[in-house]
Amino acid sequence: DADVTQTPRNRITKTGKRIMLECSQTKGHDRMYWYRQDPGLGLQLIYYSFDVKDINKGEISDGYSVSRQAQAKFSLSLESAIPNQTALYFCATSGPFATDTQYFGPGTRLTVL
Amino acid sequence: AQSVTQLDSQVPVFEEAPVELRCNYSSSVSVYLFWYVQYPNQGLQLLLKYLSGSTLVESINGFEAEFNKSQTSFHLRKPSVHISDTAEYFCAVSESGGSYIPTFGRGTSLIVHP
């Protein structure tokens, strides 16, 4: 089984709709992250969580919110989706050190019409 | 604050040719350096990383990268590429202090032609 799973894998929605992307990990790590990938822009950090009670905004958090339901679960919400949120979204988890590898989920491709 | 620059957005190459993907970083403290690979329709996965010791690090599939502190670079090389190496490659840096969250470069798309 994969270390990091994301649901759904693909989603098409309309402007103004609320969307939730879910992430689960089995690595037992406290740290979890949500990234957005756009062509040519690489990965941009949306939110990150150092543990269940410690959630922080990343560089592009406007228009997004998150919930850390448990050590293993971290969900990302778009309260009112807009077309420029069309992108590939990745969840990741890692240990607490700078030397630690990040483990990524397979991604969710979101299209907002 | 740390930053990463991947100098090429796309690198086309023929099968069995050598390739170099360039990565430069900026930081005022000690760093740890990573290369991640993203195959089509997949998430990123670690290819190799430099933590300390020998400045040349290798992956299991023939890639290698060399940490050059004076030039603040961590270029990725492979002497002979395969079609299956076609993917997006991301360089990342973590600093020895602070939050330990890595910064990623914008990625280099390696396209291997037959």
Q: What is the pLDDT of residues A66-96, one digit of tens each?
A: 999 999 999 999 999 999 999 999 999 999 9
Contacts 24+ apart (CB under 8 A), A98-102: A98/B32, A98/B94, A98/B95, A98/B96, A98/B100, A98/B102, A99/B32, A99/B49, A99/B51, A99/B94, A100/B100, A101/B34, A101/B46, A101/B49, A102/A33, A102/B36, A102/B44, A102/B46, A102/B92, A102/B102
Interface contact B95-A90, CB threshold 8 A: no
Q: For residue range B9-57, what is the model confidence (pLDDT) as tens digits?
A: 999 999 999 999 999 999 888 899 999 999 998 999 999 999 988 899 9
Q: Report chain A residues whose CB lies below 8 A from the CB of B51.
A: 99
Q: Quick one: CA dihedral A8, A97, B20, B2, positive or negative?
A: positive
Instruction: Report pLDDT for B60.
Output: 87
The closest CB to that of B44, out of A48, A98, A104, belongs to A104
Instruction: Measure A106 CA to nearest chain B CA, in Å.
Output: 4
| A–B CB contacts, 8 A cutoff, strictly below | 52
